[in-house]
Amino acid sequence: MLARRGPLTHSSLLLQLRCQQRRRCVSTVQQMLKERQHCKCPPPLCQKPSFRGSIRSIHNKGIETQPLYFRNHKEELEPQPLDMDQPYPEITEDGYHTLSFYSFFSLTQDKVAAVRDRMQLEWSRDLGMVGRIYVCCEGINAQLSIPQENTRKLREWLESEAEFRGRIPRFNWAIEHRRAFKALHVRVRPLVATGGQLDMATLSHEPQYLDPEEWDSELRALQARNKADPQLQAPPLLIDMRNNYEARIGKFEGAVCPDVDTFRDEMNVVRGLCQGKAKSEPIYMYCTGGIRCSVAGAILRTEGYANVKTLRGGVVAYGRHVRGRADGEKSSLFRGKNFTFDKRLGETVTSQVVAECDQCGAPCDMFTNCANTSCNLLFIQCSACADKHHRTCGSAVCIDRAKMTHDELVKNRMPPIWDYRTRVHPERVFGRDWISRVEKLAVAKS
């Protein structure tokens, strides 16, 4: 509760909010304003537009007056409000909320292992959570689904643990909610596969984060300027920091989508795109949930690029923004679906279908994995082809294995057919002789 020392006035209340770094719930402030016996200023003063704007700003931005995702404070931080993630999503069909969060802060190696073990046990046993959590000496990256009655308990857990207290920003709610993972896996591994060691000095150079509204506004202004005078200058870079297959089913208009399937390769392409441009020229980038752009933006800033702007919360946050607009998807600058690394394999941002089935060419934006787990090819498949090929890539080997029972699969184990780079490039697999190649590889590796 905010301290009530002397008359509660417009200026003194704002001062208290600033001094306490906005760590108290806005609802508490609003309730105090309703208590007329504690308010000595005339009622109109409490209704000043500047005052209401201050409260609205606190409500919209929460307590995030500190760096958004770089929380490497040496001192122990105060707990954040337990209701900071509200409003929660509506009640879902299967009772699960899907969300993500990430943060950069230092953990010693011995703490990393202890934190991993504690999360694996308590998040699964006590919170019923499923998901994929990466933790390392540089922080945490989490994508998860949790029973909706335990969502607030997750925030309570985070704010009660010294390693995480005050360090986890607001949850990034999914666009579409359901149980998106089979089980909980907490792993010690890099937050982003950069191919090298990230340090706190690099991560401290946060890029500029734009909320979806700001992102929309700036991109529209750039589009209008370039349309009015195409010869003015080359348009600023808008880079899709996701893998190439993610952009197949949806992307922002005018985005450059590098043909890569690892973050390390992406950074090499991005450096090439930036080469020759003024270090002060704006660079816009986006990804699924934001973490890849946080890392990429920090790297670019350490290399001298001063005007790196990223979409806060990624396509996930933008999708929620689109659904919350009065005109819906009509004014969306993103077209199609947002690819997700879970059982959903995508969530709808707009209804436009921008891809086609890899097997028959019909309009389609549904990713699937070949039902033969030894193949596990990631490709786009329409419902007609899924029925025709038994949800496989279509080879006789894969169809036969898709029909086997669990015991038969165990008895007839098969090693992986494809390496990772081939598995996510169906265009390298499908072709005139693709069925025979699958069968030959399967025989060779059996």
Residue 375 appears among annotated catalytic residues: no
By C-alpha distance, which of 239, 240, 235, 310 is closest to 277?
235
Token code pair at residue 369: 């994995």
> Residue 53: is it exposed, middle or buried by C-beta count within 10 angstroms (0-12/13-18/19+)?
exposed
What are the residues facing 337 on neighbouring strands?
A: 348
Question: Which is nearest to 142 in space by CA: 111, 162, 115?
Answer: 115
Angle at 241 between CA 88 and CA 276, to 5 degrees: 140
CA distances from 165 to 45, 74, 110, 371 (A): 36, 12, 18, 42
Q: By the 8 A CB rule, do 273 and 256 touch?
A: yes
Sequence-distant (≥ 6) Cβ neighbours of residue 146 within 8 angstroms: 96, 97, 99, 127, 128, 129, 130, 131, 154
Two tokens, residue 252: 């922002």
Give 305's DSSP letter.
Answer: -
CA-based end-to-end distance of the chain? 67
**Catalytic choice (25, 39, 274, 287):** 287
Cα 288 from Cα 341, distance rounded (Å)? 10
Instruction: Give the count of alpha carbons within 13 A of 168, CB side only.
Output: 27
Using left for φ > 0, alpha for ψ between -120 and 50, and beta otherwise, residue 126 falls in alpha
Would you name the residues annotated as active-site residues?
Answer: 287
